[in-house]
Amino acid sequence: MCRRFMGYPALGGISSGEQSWRFFAAYGFNEWRFQNMSPAELAQVRSYLTNCISLEQAIYGASDNLDTDQAAVWKHNRFEVADRVALYNYWRQQLCAFFGAPVGPGVYGQAGRIIV
């Protein structure tokens, strides 16, 4: 779950014999960190994950308001989804920063982007 919120793809089953982390430095670094955290660090990661889970669910819940532009004196924030996504991505960045790892390609939808 931590890997997903950091924007990295799934690694697959270990039983496959393929270990993609060997080919990507950031993946290997992340795996080493995942397996060698102190109890205090694990507590902090759990806190970040709790925030990320809650914020991700709030994005899905924001779709309940998409059909309302204005009701009585209440006026819908038309940027609600974008605001929630930005907040969600902020906490994902904080998780990456805590790990000392670069933000993964999935955080901003860059899964297919190549930087030379």
What is the average per-residue pLDDT within 12-25? Answer: 60
Q: Which of 7-16, 29-38, 72-81 has the lowest mean pLDDT?
A: 7-16
What is the average per-residue pLDDT within 1-16? Answer: 73
What is the rounded average pLDDT for all residues in the chain? Answer: 76
What pTM was estimated for this model as a whole? 0.60
43 compared with 22, residue with greater pLDDT: 43
39 compared with 61, residue with greater pLDDT: 39
29: Cβ–Cβ under 8 A, 6 or more apart, which residues?
100, 101
What is the average per-residue pLDDT within 12-34? Answer: 67
